[in-house]
Structure 1
């Protein structure tokens, strides 16, 4: 199968005063189209930084990333934004819904940015799929954490992304609510044939994916194929 993400010899560091902090050191891996993939490791191991680099939200120091057939380093800021808008979906631990927009409007935003004339129709269908068909007119502040994350799920899939990055998608949810969100995430992902990359510290969640990459101290320490 075709590789949708290819990471080669990635390095990233940040300056803190006079010190240089190495966050990622010589990271290489690839993910195939349609695969489910988890990145795990303790806090401070570089998981979220790696996710942001792979999605083109930040720039690498050295190495290269090929996402959806394009080398991120070669793209301008606008081209990277266009690639994300057309091919990439995101789910964050803190939901990142727009507080002044209703649930329906939040889900429709990526489609409207693409100029879709059926944005509202598609958004309504997705809210139905995540069990919130009757909550479209509610604002984020009127929804529980689990409901907000389900809206975020619907939004992430609204532009039918080729690849979806989920950063600790159940991190702010209780166990029962988190399990429901995970079920929805994997069901929608399977239905739409999306590639799914999850950053998590939850090994039970990671084991639901086909492959696990383990980071420690900014390096890859293990890569497993998980039996489904």
Structure 2
């Protein structure tokens, strides 16, 4: 199976006053195409920083990240944005839906940006698939947290991304709603043949993936590939 993400010797620091705070050091791992992968660890272990670097949203101090066949360090901002638009989907803890757009419009936006003439049709199909076929004209403020995250899932999968990055996708949801969203996430992922990379503090969610990377203090303390 081909590697869709390859991370080598990654280091990242932030300045805190006069001090340099090392957030990630000596990070090495790879993710195979169409696999499910979890990054876990306590708060402050560098999980979200690592996700942002892997998705090309930020740059490391040193090391290399190869995503979907492109070496991110060699790409300027515009080319990295193009790579994300073409290959990457995102799901965030706080949904990040546009409040002035309906559920359908939120799902259709990434497709419209790609010039897809069937944006509305695909949006309706995906919202029906996540159980919101009767809520397509509702605004985010008219939807529960679980419903908003289901809209976010439909939006993330609308462009059929090669890789979906999910940052604490159930972090703002109660247990029952979170489990439903998890199931949808895995079902949609399997159907689309997407590579799923989840950052989570929820070890039960992580255990449902095929590969777990555990961070502590900015370092990898476990890199577990499960034979699933």
- Partner in structure 2 of residue 103 of structure 1: 103
Work out the CA distance in 2 between the residues paired with 1:209 and 1:227.
10
Question: What is aligned with 1:94?
Answer: 94
Instruction: Please say if 1:28 is aligned against 2:31.
Output: no
Structure 2 residue matching 1:116: 3-state secondary structure: coil
TM superposition score normalised by structure 1: 0.99
Maintained 8 Å contact 1:207/1:226: no
Task: Name 2:140's counterpart in structure 1.
Answer: 140
Q: Which runs of 4+ in 1 moved over 6 A?
A: none
Alignment of 1:113-132 (within 5 A): 113-132=113-132
Aligned to 1:16: 16
Shift of 1:227: 5.4
Aligned-residue offset at 1:76:
1.1
Aligned-residue offset at 1:226 = 3.0
Which stretches in structure 1 are left out of the alignment for 5+ residues?
A: none
Q: In the TM superposition, what whole-angstrom CA distance separates every residue of 1:94-134 from its partner, at most 9, and x where no partner exists? A: 00001111100000011011010001110100000100011
* Stretches of structure 2 lacking an aligned partner (at least 5 in a row): none
Output the aligned Cα RMSD. Answer: 0.7
Residue 225 of structure 1 and its aligned partner are, at CA, apart by 2.2
Please state whether the residue corresponding to 1:48 is helix, strand or coil: helix
Tell me the distance in 2 between the aligned counterparts of 1:194 and 1:125.
18
Distance 2:85 2:172 in 1: 25
Report whether the alignment pairs 1:46 with 2:71: no
Where 1:131 maps in the other structure, the secondary structure is: coil
